[in-house]
Amino acid sequence: MPNATKRIEFNRFPRVDLCHQPTPIEEMPRLGAFLGGPKLYIKRDDCTGLATGGNKTRKLEFLMGEALREGADMIVTQGAVQSNHVRQSAAAACKLGMKCHVLLERRVPDRDESYEKTGNVFLDKLFGTTFEFRPNGLDMNAEALEVTEGLRSAGHKPYFIPGGGSNATGALGYANCAQEIVDQSVQSGLHFQWLVMGTGSSGTQAGLVAGFHILGYDLPVMGISVRQPRERQTGAVLATTQKTLTHLGGPEIAPDKILVDDGYVGEGYGIPAPSTLEAIRLTARQEGILLDPVYSAKGMAGLIGLVRSGFFKPEDNVLFLHTGGSTSLFAYEDQISEDLA
């Protein structure tokens, strides 16, 4: 069982209160029985509260805390058109009385006109976000930094947040979540053998790995890549993990502690594979839980695939991290409806 006495001191970092926490851990008994595998559990980070919730809210507590400390009056960030990060960043800016300007990358090919009007984009507009589009394939952080400097020259006080909130500051949110999972495990007496999650911009997986490493909690984190091939994603997560550990004053970590499975990416980012659509349908109909087509459903597809392949032991307790994002289901309504038919 995990050590209940070891703690990470987060009060030394600037932080604002944005998140409903702790988020619950629930069993998924019907899905587990349907798959005939180990016991499955879900960490409900779709219930973090800000703008329908999601994993970025934990990161934004520390990022927005830093922005306020620096005297910022607006934030600048970037993401794909249906970015969950952009939606939560825009809501956080509203809550703190700041402006929000974003760059949206047309990363997903062959989408119709409604893709840029519904789902997360509709909510971005509701939150009063100003935004501009960019074509696919650019260095979006570099593009957003250039816009940030232009706004600074025009007299604003902007604070730049990288895509996904994935830097050493943002990853503190998931080092804190690692502490939360350890606490819940101690309180419930429930020990997990694996944690599975969708991994994209790297900060969520990196924060968890860094947090568990400092706490000495032996819980391997399997990241199911939603975009990059395994080698590239592993390198990105390792780099962010090391930076987060440095930020926290923790020990370095061995590269082999970063685990990534790239077998569920399909044709690319934001393009649901058949396994993605199956994960959405099964999780909805077995557990009444909504997944998004970009991140959480690809992560769940990975979990389902690993169960079916016999990767886990029958006696294992496997925890899935739900990173939120169901708002983007509406941007994929035709494709999901076609699968249901």
Which residues are tagged catalytic? Answer: 83
CA distance 336 to 329: 8
CA distance 302 to 265: 9
What φ, ψ does residue 43 adopt, rounded to 5°?
-90, 115
Could you tell me if 84 and 324 are in contact, meaning their C-beta atoms sit under 8 angstroms apart?
Answer: yes
Tell me the CB-side half-sphere exposure of residue 84, using CA atoms within 13 A.
30
Which of 200, 195, 167, 164 lies closest to 181, judged by CA?
A: 195
Could you tell me if 70 and 76 are in contact, meaning their C-beta atoms sit under 8 angstroms apart?
Answer: no
Q: What is the DSSP letter of 206?
A: H
Strand order in the sheet with 39-44: 25-27, 39-44, 317-322, 194-199, 221-225, 259-261
Tokens linked to 123: 């909510």
